[in-house]
Structure formats: C-alpha cells, structure tokens
Amino acid sequence: MTIDKSLKVKRGGISTRSVLTRVERLEKMRADGKFDPESDSPIGIPKTRVVKISMKKKKKTKEEG
C-alpha cells in the first residue's frame, strides 16, 4: 500500500522544534545556573523554548559612479 503525495513528509521531517528534550533542558539550565543536580529534582522542570536564529539579509549599497 502506498502513501498519498499529500501525506508525505517533505525534507525528511526536518523542522524546528519548539521545546527541548529533558536532557537538553537540564544542560541548558545547568549552564544558566538555574538547576543544581545535587539539590533539585529533574522531574517537573519547566519547558525551555528554542531560540530561533534567523539570518538577516544584507542591504546592497548603491554604487555611485
């Protein structure tokens, strides 16, 4: 049985994730100083948003001549 063209995932399912996994969140919180593995529990930690980086296009300068 084949999959209809409209249901296929384009680009292999690569997309920007909106949240991190638990391990990634713990690493980010440790780097920010918000999580101490000795005293804090990894259960019930807050979700951490992924910062999307977009490249701005450079404006072309007008050449005088």
**pLDDT tens across 4-34, in order?**
777 766 665 556 667 778 888 888 888 888 8
pTM of this structure: 0.48
Contact 29, 45 (CB under 8 A): yes
Q: Give the contacts of 51 (CB within 8 A, at least 6 positions apart).
A: none
Residue 19's SS3 state is strand
Q: How far apart are CA 55 and CA 30, in angstroms?
A: 28
Question: Letter for the amino acid at 10?
Answer: K
Question: Letter for the amino acid at 32?
Answer: D
DSSP state of 48: -
